[in-house]
Amino acid sequence: MLAFAVEGLIISGAALAIGPFLGMALAQALGTSNGFLEFVQRSSMNVHLNSKAYAYGGIAAAVSFGMMLIPVLLATRTSIVGHKQQLARMTKTPLWHKMFLDVLLLGVSIYGLYEFRSRLKDVTSLGLNADDLQIGSLQFVIPALFIVGSGLLLLRLYPYLLSLIYYIGRKWWAPAWYATLIQVGRSIAQYQFLMVFLIITIATGVFSAGAARTINNNIEERIRYAAGADISLNSVWQSDATPISASSGPTMAFAQTKTTETASAIKIIHYLEPPFDPYRNLPGVEEAAKVFVNDSATFTAGESKGFAKLIGIDTYDFGMTSWFKDYLNGYPLYEYMNLMAADPRAVLISRTLADTMKVKQGDTILVGWNEVNEKPFVVYGIVDYFPTFNPNPPLGSVSAADPNAKDGKPMLIVGHLSRIQMQLALEPYQVWLKMKPGFSTTQLYEGIEKSKLSVIDIVNSKENLVLAKRDPFLMALNGILTLGFLISIIITFFGFLLYWMLSLKGRTLQNGIMRAIGLSLRQLLGMLALEQLLTSGVAIMIGAIVGNVTGRLFVPNFQIAFNPSTLVPPFRVVFAQIDFVRLYIIVGIMLLLGLGILGYMLSRIRIHQALKLGED
């Protein structure tokens, strides 16, 4: 006992001395992570060690020391007779099987999922304050419980599947296959620990891949949706309002314009529309569109009145320029554009407006703003989402206790820009640009300067995406998910290799006898490969299934970290094929390397040595 304790102290002490510095190096590598198992050329993060790091390292070393001594302590209390009895009872039912631990874990995790989804739905639909729901440790613990519970449940069912396979082909199996099925079927209990290890590792990897891809994809879609296009520009229009000094910066000029409009609300301002073609001719521009936006337009629907966001567009240019995912509405965006193009009076309205004001397709609504008289438009379509429009109430704008909270959602009206300018008023619009692939932002800005365009505000989706990718939280999240999986797969590989090496050592006599009765080395390798397929292969398949299910159920809960009411488009779980290719390549290399080492060990077995071992 003392010898094992000294050995444990040496190992734990060495780990404590090296571990913090290794952890610091891994933490620095987080800055190069751009997604799950995806790295880019980026400067490393600034990391330093403090007393807390050593404290956590000391706790981990102490726990590891205790875990190393527990098997030794149990072994000292076991006699030779007791050990032989345990070997004879290898097929007994595991403790977790008797206690239905798998069912219990699944029940707890499903209840936690239901509870969290219910509260998350209120936050998303009602725009509750951030304090109404916060991220807690259970958000990470519950998926882990679900993975373990699902893996154990499928392992409970696996022996029945194995028996079915054996029964179906019992008259046709080759001797090697027959022996392997008998070996795995009768010794399933001894394989279960390894299979659980593999299931948890693979499921965690699939879950991590889905979580990283989903979070990165949703951040990208949110930025592009909020901008509406690759580039969005606001420019200065000449008018009969109070002139603005050219020395004012873009932000100041924009603020002064708003102030002037507010101060002279009674007086209608007349604007002179600047040329539009120079925007189309800017370097790197593929398409351009005029987009008029009024955030405080008024409308009348029957006897009901309200405020809505009014967007005026040229249907063809808008459809070619804007960024939009077709899955967000019932039909692709171009179909809504074609629907509107048939009638200059046609408008699209948001479902929030349709549901709140009881408006349906074919109804006539009056639209205007401020001192601009309302004019009639005809509803041609109802949409859930539209570029730049967020149908959810702003975060903290309403309270769950308010019975009319659901009536406070933003509303939208989309009409023809030409009719809005002719029937209502000519006011400044935004210019949206769709850029060619690989465009240079620097060249675009230089082109704007050379063309002497009076641009006062620019929203660049490309720059916003780069800034989002450099966010420390996102870099840390991607890095932790990647490094966590890589570390777990390395540990699993060594555990996998150690298990099978010990297993082959323990079955040297059995393998020697099989060689002696006429089985070739090729047949023995085939038996080993089939045994791997029925154990490790099945565990990997179960892990992939469990990881996929876990990701689709629990990854949506992470949206609370990004304020659900600002997440438009809706949070969507994304699994990319490239992530699974990387994952399975790593796992495949691990299995092939392990199988190669085991095959080499098997080829080194000498029949006379095995039989001599049996005689001893």
C-alpha to C-alpha distance for 185 and 117, rounded to whole angstroms? 41
- What is the average pLDDT value for the chain, to the nearest integer? 81
- Report how many helices (DSSP H) and strands (DSSP E) the chain contains, helices first: 22, 13
Percent of the chain residues past pLDDT 90, beyond the cut: 26
Q: CA torsion sign, 450 to 454 to 456 to 459?
A: negative
C-alpha to C-alpha distance for 565 and 130, rounded to whole angstroms? 10
Length of the chain: 616
- Residues 138-188 have pLDDT tens digits of 777 889 899 999 988 988 888 888 888 888 877 787 777 777 788 787 777
Out of 77-86, 319-328, 337-346, which region has the weakest mean confidence (pLDDT)?
77-86
Locus of tokens 């909020």: 226
C-alpha to C-alpha distance for 182 and 81, rounded to whole angstroms? 27
pLDDT of 559 > 80? The answer is no
Q: Which has the closest alpha carbon to 324: 413, 221, 393, 238? A: 221
| The token pair that represents 379 in the structure block | 């509803």
Q: Angle 135-559-563 (CA atoms, 0-180°, nearest 5)?
A: 80
As beta bridge partners, residue 305 has 300
pTM of the model: 0.76
With contact defined as beta carbons under 8 Å apart, do 164 and 65 qualify?
Answer: no
Out of 396-405, 539-548, 574-583, which region has the weakest mean confidence (pLDDT)?
396-405
- Residues 482-532 have pLDDT tens digits of 887 777 778 777 877 787 777 777 777 777 777 777 777 787 788 878 888
**pLDDT band per the 50, 70, 90 thresholds, residue 347:** very high
Out of 73-82, 169-178, 310-319, 411-420, which region has the weakest mean confidence (pLDDT)?
73-82
**pLDDT band per the 50, 70, 90 thresholds, residue 583:** confident
- C-alpha distances (whole Å) from 39 to each of 32, 114, 177, 469, 482 are 5, 35, 43, 12, 10
| The token pair that represents 431 in the structure block | 């210019």
C-alpha to C-alpha distance for 320 and 430, rounded to whole angstroms? 16
Average pLDDT for 107-115: 90
**pLDDT band per the 50, 70, 90 thresholds, residue 92:** low
pLDDT of residue 249: 42
Query: How many other CB atoms are there within 10 angstroms of residue 388's CB atom?
Result: 22
pLDDT of 101 > 80? The answer is yes
pLDDT of residue 171: 79
pLDDT of 544 > 80? The answer is yes
- Residues 211-239 have pLDDT tens digits of 888 888 888 888 999 999 999 999 999 88
More confident residue, 125 or 380: 380
More confident residue, 256 or 370: 370
pLDDT of residue 470: 79
pLDDT of residue 88: 56
**pLDDT band per the 50, 70, 90 thresholds, residue 65:** confident
**pLDDT band per the 50, 70, 90 thresholds, residue 376:** very high
Q: Which has the closest alpha carbon to 333: 268, 388, 294, 265? A: 388
